[in-house]
Amino acid sequence: MKLPAPLVRVRSAAAQGLALVLRVAEPILSRARRFGYEVLARSRLRGRVASGVQFVGPVIVEGTGNVHIGPRTRVGRHVFFETYGAAAIEIGSDATINDGVVLVAYAGIHIGDGAMIGEYAGVRDANHGVRLGVPVRLQEHASAPVQIGADAWIGRGSIVLRGVAIGAGAVVGANSVVTRDVAGNAIVAGAPARPIGERPDAADFGAATGLREEG
């Protein structure tokens, strides 16, 4: 049903007024929501969660909840933490764990200071057995710890599998599958991920882009 023009103008004016009220209130509401997310996350996680950790949205916790998070780390919406037995997920300071990241530890996952994990990436330190004659879902997991170095960047949608060590400063391209170790400062991509380059130093980057450091 089409509204008469005068009612359309009244509706629009009312919507604009309510929008202005919400715009003023939004910073307060946002702080309240994030405080609630932090309270819920801290109630579910059994490890050490430092002060200053920012929970942008709700998290999902399965298993023992043995998760340790360093100061000033940002945890995105719907991050999934799963730990079993004595395994722990350890995240350093100033790290970024973006929306939808899945972290599953049977042996242990360590993520270094300042590392970034892109949206919907996964880090799993265990795989099901695949022997014939036994359903895969009933087979025991084979596990080995995963290490992700400081300042490493794991691109959106990538998967890091058991036993992998990713060196400090390494970059993993989006949607890659990492099955073997990655050297520090290396850039890898693909499925399986393979080296495609190295991070340039500041001088090389400036020369390549036309930028230069002032000072």
| Cα separation, 98 vs 132, whole angstroms | 37
Rounded to 5°, the CA angle 107-169-66 comes to 25
Q: Residue 125 corresponds to which tokens in the numbers above? A: 């330190």
The answer for residues whose C-beta is within 8 angstroms of residue 150's C-beta and 6 or more apart is 92, 112, 113, 114, 115, 168, 169
Choosing from 68, 78, 128, 141, the catalytic residue is 128
Question: In the chain, which ranges are continuous DSSP H helix?
Answer: 5-44, 202-209
112, 131 Cβ separation under 8 angstroms: no
| Cα separation, 191 vs 182, whole angstroms | 14
How many residues are given for the chain?
Answer: 215
Q: 3-state DSSP call for residue 75?
A: strand
| Cα separation, 151 vs 168, whole angstroms | 6
Check if 141 is active-site.
no
Q: Catalytic residues, which ones?
A: 128
